Every structure is written in C-alpha cells, then in structure tokens.
A and B are shown apart, each in its own frame.
Chain A
C-alpha cells in the first residue's frame, strides 16, 4: 500500500529496535516469570515448590526475610549519625597557656578613699548601730547623732532591714523604727530567701522606683552576707560612674603586683604580661597572652621549666567590706579564651608557694547533625560582647547583658558594654537594681531563654590542674629572702616586706603529653552501604540489581499490563458498541495469548536447580536437538514481541 514516509521510518525503527513489552502478558504470568528469573533466593522456591504446605512455608520464610531486611536496614539508618570517641596521646612541644593573675582586691583602698569614703562611713555606722561593732570607738559614737540628722543616701536607696521572728514586722536598720511590710510585696522566694527559723534574719528591700508598691525583699541568714551584698550594690553604682582610664590607675600596676618572674629557666618581667581590666578584680595581668603574635611554648615538663612568679599582695591596702579573703586569683586559659576569673579562678595563698601542675587535654565534638554544638558561635543569635572566641559562658553573659540593656536600659557593671549602652548607676537609672534583681532571678530560672539559645562550643582546651601548697619562705631562708625581695621591689617601699604580703606561684606542665579526645563519625556512607549489602545478601541474596528488578517488574511492567488491560477493555467495549456484536476477535486473541507458554520461561531459562546441577531436565527436553535453521527470518522472538494493541489491530485489518 501507499504509506506515508514517516510511517515507514517508524516502522523500520520498530523493526530494528523493537520495543518489547513486559515479559508476560498477564500479572500472574509476570509474577511467575519474575519468580523464576529473579536473583533473589526465596521467590524461586515459592514457584518451584510442590505441595501447598511447602509453598506456604516458603512464602512465610520469604516474607519474614523481607521483614527482617526492612527492620535491620531501618536500624542501620537510625544509627547512622552516631559518633565514636577516640583518644590520642601525643608527646610534643606544648604551647604554654595564658595565665591570668589578679589580686583579689580590685583597687588600692588608699586611692579609692575619695570615692568610697561616704559609703564606708555609713557602713561602719550601720555596723556600729546594730551589731555594736566599732573600731575607733570614740569617733563613731560622736557621729552617731549626726548620722540620723544628715540622712544617708545609701540607706534611703536600699534600706537594710531586720526581721523579727520571720514575721512581717521589720526594723529599719537606719532609723531603728519598726514597720510593717504589706503582704502583697513580700517577695518570698524559696531559692533566694532563707526560710530558716532564725529570728535574726537580715535583708534589704529593692523597690521599683516608678511604682513603689512593687518591691522585692532579699534576705540573708547572716548579716555578713547581707552587709557584703548591700555594700557591693553601692560599690558597683559608684564604680560605674568612674571612667575606665581612672579605674586602671586606681588599680595595681604590673610593678606593684609582680615581684619576680621566671619562665622556662629565663628571667621575665612585666613586658611579658598584658594588662587586662576586669570589672570586679581590677587590673589583672595575663602572662603569654599572645598579644604580640607569639605564643611561648615549653619543651620540657617540670616545675623548673614553667612559670614562677612572686606576687606582692599588699594586705594592708585591702578594702575591708568588699573582699574578706587575702591572696591572688589565677586562671589558666587559652590565648583566645576570655578569663572568667570570678567564676573559675584558683585562689593563691600568701606566705606560701603554690605549685600548679598542668595536664593538657584537647577535646573536639562533632557538630551537626551528630550533636548540637557550634564551631564558631556565628550561628548563635547572640552578639558576642567579649573580644574573644566563642564559649558557652560568653554567650550566657552576653545574652544576659543584652536582656539587661533591653529591659532596664543600662548595662550591668560586671560584664562588657554593648555598643551604645552605658553602665547602670542610680543617678541615671534609679530603678536598675530592682530591675537587675528581677532579671537575674528570671535568668537563673531559665525564663530568659538564654540557656536555650546558647550552645556548647564544639572544641575546647582544658588544663587539668593539680594544686599543692608548701610553706614559703621557709623559716631559715625567710630572713635573707625578704631582704632581697625588698631590695628587688626597689626604693618605692622603704619598709621591709612581710611574708604575708607575698605569694609564690609556680605553673608548669607535669608532662608534655597532649591528650586529644575527639569524636569521629562511627559510620560513613561506604560502611552504611556495606551493611545494607550485608543484610540484603544475608537474608535474600539480594543486591541493588534485585531492587531495580523489583521496581521494573512490580511497578513498570505490572502497571503497563494493567494499563493495557484497561485499554483493551475500553477498546472492546467501544468496538462492541460500534459494531454491535459482529464477532469477538479481540477476545479470542486475548484468550489465545493467555493460554500460551512463554518460551523464555521454558526453554531459555536461567539456570534452575536442575540445570545448575546438570541433572536431566524433568520432561520434554528434545535430545538430540537439531541445529537451528541458519536463515535469519525465523527469529526466535518472544511470543509477545509485537503485542502492542495498535499494531495488532493493524494486522487484523
């Protein structure tokens, strides 16, 4: 016939690269074909088995194998993000950590007189009035009357109160008047207020300046704590008003603090120390801060090769109310870390040699998705107020300071200033103390959300310290030692030093072993796949190929069979309506196709159990076979090669 050239070409393509349909015309055929030809093990048994029971057992086994595979693989997937820990020890030259040394007393009391004289006078008077304490008896007695008349700012601001029998009656320490505290403002907080049965409870009241009915009461079981806390609040107020440069001058200079210095067998001096102003501890000095770019390192362990310093602690110049202990505080930290000396400092005794042996450990955690830690802190929505690398503590403090600035309008004195804010003092922010205490309470109760936002740092360095103390100087060497050290101190001090003014400190590496604890992913993709393969292979001898097979057979082929069925049904129904019962050729063809055997399945099959073992085929194996015809027209095609319904239709017409 006259065919269009396009049709000719498609027909040629069809002939040369025939598009074959699924391997069987019906679903059950397909399944049978699949089971006989698949690479997985169980399925074949189901088809090949004889007897219902046996077949049922095989179905059961196959299904349970599939279930096991799914379960185990799910297990493997869930454990994928687990980490294993490895510890390595390396012996090497170690970088010496930064050592920050502070005097416990922040500022020289003698030079602070100008700022604190008022406060101290009132504190002394308070002590005198209510505890009967006086140092210079006559002087205080004389001014007792004067006090009441002049009135004191400090007590107006925060009145010190004494409770009687833990009732609501309080005595105002200043006026001595009894007064009642209204029930509504009594802020009894079990975590802060000591609920002991002592009748000597002392505390102070903080009120909202804008709304005087809003008051919070802070009580202490001992007057020592109450007075110190009370003093500290006022002290912070005063200090907040002094500019940083002045404060640095008021505190100890490097020459004041450091008498001798010795590192790694060589002499060192104040040039090796960097000044660092801490709001609560005044001037601190950091040895080996790495500020000029070089970090000292030790290549020998032992006390001779570490840092040895003799500190001058001028006990006489201590603030009697602010600090009650004598000595120095030191902290060993990394050059990039901020020294939180008030939180984790080690105290150094005077008249003693403190030897601190260090052991270095470095740890490293895996970040997401293994654990919830942060590498640099850049992903934490809290601005780092400290000029140092991220740590959890920095984050918490910054977070609190930010909340403080937001809600109280000024910054807390002990932490660095955010941009554009200034420290609280009650000239400008009369309300800050109340605000601060409320906020701090919230912070402790984790209501500010800081603990939720802040995350651990993923890597950190730790110096484990072993501290021990010896008497220093020894009784026999005391004499010459103090004389020579006094000479070292130079002409500034004419008096001979007292041994309680001195502290000897030795910081050294006990050994040069660095312990490195690191987390490693327990699984890699390769191992996961191997484990999958192991599971699949163990239960069903399956592989990715089988999975593709399954997809091919169960989804593509089955779907196409179903689709074709539907299509043919629809066509038949259409034809039937059109020609109204003029023969049923389509149906006959269908029947025929259904009945016939798939030659692929029967003849050219994969090695079955029989063929694999070279057993004679059970029945119709025509031996000897004749050679196939040599002409190529008799292609041994599968029966359904050209089964596409449309071509079928064409052929019938």
Chain B
C-alpha cells in the first residue's frame, strides 16, 4: 500500500495531470494536446465525435504518408542546377601546341630506312599489275624481309566468300596475284598480324577495304616497334625543337618566346610545348575579352620534314586545357592548317558537381581503383588519364610489355618486335576487345568539376600575298639568321587564342533537399493537417511514458492485491471511481471513500470530467427540457 502510494505520488509529481487509468489518460491527452483533431473528438456529440475520430485518424495517416514521401525525396539526393554566364577575370587556359608529325624525317631516317624501302617496294608490288621482275631486283639492294615476316601485308581476294585467296605481296609465286589484278574484282587488302610462335594457329587478319588505310596502319605498327627501342632523350632530340617551331609569341601586350613554353614529350606528336601550364609559375590571368588581349603565336611546322608514311595530315595540333592537366590531343585537340591564321574564341564551360552521395564522381581520383600512370607528369586526374592507364595496365598484364603510346609503370618496357614478337597480335586483340573497354569504363569515374573550353574557330589565309615576302623574310632572319627565306606557306601558321565577350558559363549544382528543407516540409505537413509540431510529438511520447507508468502501477497493484487477497481477503481493493480519479488529479488531498455502490464498468466514458453541478446554470435551465424524454417513456 505504501509502495503504491509512493508511486502515485511519484506519478503525480512527474506529470501533474493525467488520471490513473488509460481512459483518463487518453481523455486528458485529447483535451490538452496541441494537435488540433483530438480535442474535437471529446468535445463534440456522439455523431460528430465519430466523424472527428475518423477525420483525425485520416489526417494522421495522411501526415505519415506524406512524411514518407518527403523522407524518400530527401534520401534520393536530388540536385538543382544554377547557371551563370558572363565575363570575369579568369585564368587563361593552358595551350598545348604540337606538330602533327612527331619527328623530323631527317633525324629518324636512319632508323626507318629499312622500313621505308620495304614499304616502297610493297607499294610498287601492289600498284603495278605485272611486276617487272628483272629490272626492279637489280635496281634495289636486297630487302630486309625480317620486318616483313613479323607482320606481312597480304592481299585478300574475297571474291569467293568461303575461300578467300590470301596473297603475300612478297611471295615469289605471283601467278595468283596476276590473276587478281586482271580480274579486278572486289579485293580487300589485309594486314596480317602474326602470332608469337610462328606457324601456330594463333593468327588474325585485320581487314581493310582500303590499301591506303592498311599501309598506314601497318607502318604505324612497325615504326612504333622500332622507335620504342630508342631512349627518351634521343626521341626528344629527334623531334621539333621549341626555337625552331615557335617563331613568335605575344600574350596581350607582353612579348613572350619559346622559353615560356614547357616541353612535354607526347607519344603521338613528339615534342609538344605548353604555354601557361602553371606547373612552376602562377597561371596567367586574362581580364579582357578580344583578340588583342589573347595569345598570338606564329608557328612553323616545316612540312618538308614530315615522315611520309606516318602522318598524312599536315598542320599543327593544339589543345586548350586546364592548368596542370595532361593534354590528350587525340581526344580534344584541334588542327590548325598551314598557311592560315586561325582565330579561336574561348568560352570556359564549367560544370561543378556535388560529390557523393549526389552523384558518382570523383574529386581528385584518389578513390578510383586504377593506378594513374599520368601522375608521373604531376598532372591532375582526368577520365582520359584513367582510361589510358587502365588500358596500359591491361596491356602489361596480358602482353607483358607496355604500349608505346602510353606512359609506363616502373620496371616495365615498351613492346618491340624483338623482345615481344607477339605484341602486335596481343595489342590488336586487346584493343578490339569490348570486354576490356567496358571494364575500364566501369572502373573509371569522371571528375566532379568538369571544365571544357568551347572554341569558336575561324580561319583566314595568312600571310596575305602582299605581305608574304617581308613576313617570311623577317621570320627566316630571326630564326635562322639568314637572309634567305627558309620558310614557306606550307609550314607557317598563325594562331590567335582569346576569350570571348562572355568567357564563362558555369553550371553549379546545389542540393535540392537539405536537412532544413526536410524539417520545414515535415513541419509544414504536420501543421497543415493537424496543426502539430515537435512538441506535440513529445506530448505523445509523454503519454506513452505515462501509460507505461500506469501499466507498471497496475501490475504492481495487481500483484499486491493478489498477495493481500491471500493474506486477508476482507479488504478488497476496490478500484477508484471516475469521479474519485478526477478529484485525485485536481485535489491531492482527496481520499476516496468506499462508495462501492456502482460497479466500475457502468461508469460512462464521456463523463469523466464532470464538474460538480453548477447551480447557477441549473437555475436557468428550462424545466421542460428533459420532458420529451419522460414523455417518450
């Protein structure tokens, strides 16, 4: 009994309000809660009570449903984009210029001599319908057929689909060859890539419908193998030197020269020169639009010194890119034609994205599972670097050597025909393997900040006929210190690179749903349907705690009652009536009397809060108000 009293006291102290039973608690809650519906339930008549009960239930479920939607929306991490366009002082892009031809032919001639003779002879054979056996043999020294046998060029006559006739161009029996040319039917020129172990079945033919294409590809494969053996220093020496290539340079009003360019060796294009790379010094800013404030270059590509079979297109290759990034000229580079002035208006198109979990991009590439081989250049991560590194890693894994076009990890050598006889086969099967490409695509991630340089390119003839003479004269004098004209229209290129009137277009992302958004939306929903707030939730929690209390008290009292009943049955603990309970919660001093006349069950639920009769109001009550009821009896 003491314990129970203690608990009652404790309960009262804790809550000062709710009654002792669940029903009381509920009614009290409905009456005093700040949410709007429950109060109506207890305030109205039975019919409205029912309506309000269902309305409240409906609204509560609506609130929970919409909360679910809102939380779902929040967890989908949507973003909104904002676009801004205009002009501002920006870092001038890094400009990489290369020659389309990687090496001076005069420098590499001794290395490629054998190969060139071979291809010339092969072309003779292909183009001449009937080879004049005697005369040719006598004129040319014997060919080195070792290179040939590694990767022979063949003619494939696919006239008969099922049995294509394959002719090695240097096979001695030319009977079939004569047949083919005379027939003149659909022929395919094939480039065979031989297998590592001669005579094995592991051979593929790469088909070309065009001889020009086949010869070019064949030449590239062969020359790659030859040049890969040459040390890097030597290769750089064989390429175009900055002082020969960059004749004039002007940035805004400030003069610059070839010394302002950083040299980088690019496997496709030999020596490339990067202006404003930002590796050692601060990147230059440009605060004015227009050609007058941009970079002006005059280049010489000396077309006469091109390797004839390696690159058929002549011009400069250039690319605009971000500071400290590696120039991937094959992907993003553009050509500039000799004998023209090329003007390039630049618009910086930036995309700033939010990282995880909003989108699957990488900030600096550190979380990409591919070893970035381009990090040896101290360049930043890019998707191109990742894809190339990925390919090179696959190449090293499967072929045992690295491809000449990509950087090498430590301890691995470039492929060449002597050390790795089967590399060409291995390479071409790897290159055409869709599976390997897909692996690389899946493992590489794009960068979150994507910057593109949108270029508006226009061209004009340069120098004009009238000015040609003196321009060539001066440029020749400056470069070669000679009064003879050493330059010509086929080699000279003028470039203007400048910011457009609007030089940036930035699309930046921001989270569409933040935690603040979520809370205000949740609050809005709760408020809209039920007028509730977080405090209402706390109230609800309080009620649950209260009912737990009541449960505990009931259990204890039930146990006690059981014990007492066993001990002495004369004092059955009568449960308190509603009115007692009401008094109990307003009047602590109130002690219930053993009324006991009315069974507890018969106490009607809507009456709990009944106050004592208000005699004042009773007085004015019309006497006849209840009479219809009695009449009905």
Interface residues of A (CB under 8 A from B): 1, 3, 8, 11-12, 14-15, 17-20, 37, 39, 84-89, 91-93, 259-262, 265-269, 299-304, 310, 352-353, 355, 357, 359, 464, 466-477, 479-481, 483-485, 487-488, 490-491, 504, 510-513, 515, 520, 524, 526-527, 529-534, 536-537, 541-546, 548-549, 589, 592-593, 595-597, 599-600, 602-604, 606-607, 614, 620, 622-630, 632, 634, 636, 639, 641-642, 647-648, 650-652
Contact = CB atoms under 8 A, between A and B. Distances in A.
A17 B46 CA distance: 7
A267 B529 contact: no
Given A480-B308, A596-B620, A636-B610, 15 more contacts: A1-B631, A84-B512, A262-B210, A469-B335, A471-B338, A487-B211, A531-B524, A532-B528, A543-B529, A545-B37, A546-B531, A602-B614, A603-B611, A607-B31, A636-B607
A271 to B, nearest CB: 10
Nearest to B16: A614
Minimum-distance CB pairs A-B, first 6: A533-B528, A530-B524, A260-B210, A543-B531, A474-B314, A470-B315
Contact of B580 (A355, A593, A627, A639): A627
Nearest to B335: A470
A628 B331 contact: no
B313 A474 contact: yes
B531 A476 contact: no
A627 B583 contact: yes
B270 to A, nearest CB: 15
B55 interface: yes
B626 to A, nearest CB: 8
Interface string B481-503: 00000000010000000000000
Contacts of A542: 531
B622 A634 contact: no
Contact of B445 (A20, A37, A91, A599): A91
Interface string B365-393: 00000000000000000011001000000
Contacts of A303: 330-331
Contact of B527 (A479, A543, A636): A543
A630 B579 contact: yes
Contact of A474 (B210, B306, B434, B509): B306
16 contacts: A91-B446, A267-B210, A302-B331, A468-B335, A474-B306, A475-B314, A477-B309, A487-B126, A526-B70, A534-B528, A599-B614, A622-B612, A625-B611, A648-B624, A650-B631, A651-B625
Contact of A84 (B80, B306, B531, B621): B80
A596 B620 CA distance: 6
Interface in B406-456: 431-432, 434, 437-438, 441, 444-446, 450, 452, 454-455
A344 B168 CA distance: 47
Contact of B309 (A310, A466, A480, A546): A480
A477 B312 contact: yes
A173 B526 CA distance: 86
A468 B188 CA distance: 31
B478 to A, nearest CB: 24
B334 A466 contact: yes
B36 interface: yes
From A300, A485, A531, A634, name the one whose CB has the most chain B CB atoms within 10 angstroms. Answer: A300
B175 interface: no
Contact of A89 (B330, B351, B614): B351
Interface in B568-600: 577, 579-580, 583, 586-587, 590, 595, 597-598
Contact of B209 (A93, A267, A510): A267
B34 to A, nearest CB: 9
B269 interface: no
B258 interface: no
B167 interface: no
A603 B208 CA distance: 101
Given A470-B100, A511-B332, A533-B528, A87 B81 contact: yes
Contact of B334 (A84, A355, A595): A355
Given A468-B336, A534-B520, A542-B531, A93 B628 contact: no
Contacts of A526: 66, 69-70, 73, 521, 525
B130 to A, nearest CB: 14
A488 B184 CA distance: 11
A379 B172 CA distance: 71
A604 B342 CA distance: 90
Contacts of B527: 533-534, 536-537, 541, 543
Contacts of B338: 471
B359 A480 contact: no
B241 interface: no
A88 B69 contact: no
B545 to A, nearest CB: 20
Interface of B: 16, 31-32, 36-37, 39-40, 43, 45-48, 55, 59, 66, 69-70, 73, 78-81, 83, 100-101, 105, 123, 126-127, 184, 188, 206-213, 215, 303-304, 306-309, 311-315, 328, 330-332, 334-339, 342, 351, 353, 359, 361, 383-384, 387, 431-432, 434, 437-438, 441, 444-446, 450, 452, 454-455, 457, 459, 490, 507, 509, 512, 520-533, 577, 579-580, 583, 586-587, 590, 595, 597-598, 604, 607, 609-614, 616-617, 620-622, 624-629, 631-632
Contact of B611 (A1, A589, A604): A604
B81 A85 contact: yes
A261 B209 contact: yes
Nearest to B625: A642
A491 B129 CA distance: 11
A37 B579 contact: no
A468 B626 CA distance: 101
A590 to B, nearest CB: 11
A542 B37 CA distance: 12
Contacts of B40: 545, 549
From A92, A93, A533, A548, name the one whose CB has the most chain B CB atoms within 10 angstroms. Answer: A533
A641 B628 CA distance: 11
A472 B212 contact: no
A466 B81 CA distance: 25
A471 to B, nearest CB: 4
B617 A596 contact: yes
A511 B523 contact: no
A530 B525 contact: yes
Contact of A543 (B36, B359, B432): B36
A630 to B, nearest CB: 5
Given A265-B432, A510-B332, A545-B531, A530 B312 contact: no
A260 B531 contact: no
A504 to B, nearest CB: 7
A533 B529 contact: yes
B477 to A, nearest CB: 24
B251 to A, nearest CB: 22
Given A511-B384, A651-B624, A85 B444 contact: no
A504 B216 CA distance: 14
Contact of B610 (A524, A596, A628): A628
Given A544-B59, A596-B617, A91 B207 contact: no
A93 B387 CA distance: 13
A625 B583 contact: yes
Given A262-B213, A466-B455, A513-B450, A606 B31 contact: yes
A11 B36 contact: no
A87 to B, nearest CB: 5
Nearest to A625: B612
Nearest to A355: B335
A597 B621 CA distance: 10
A367 to B, nearest CB: 20
B215 A484 contact: yes
A537 B330 contact: no
Given A84-B512, A357-B334, A652-B624, A530 B212 contact: no
A268 B188 CA distance: 11
A484 B101 CA distance: 21
A267 B332 contact: no
A490 B313 contact: no
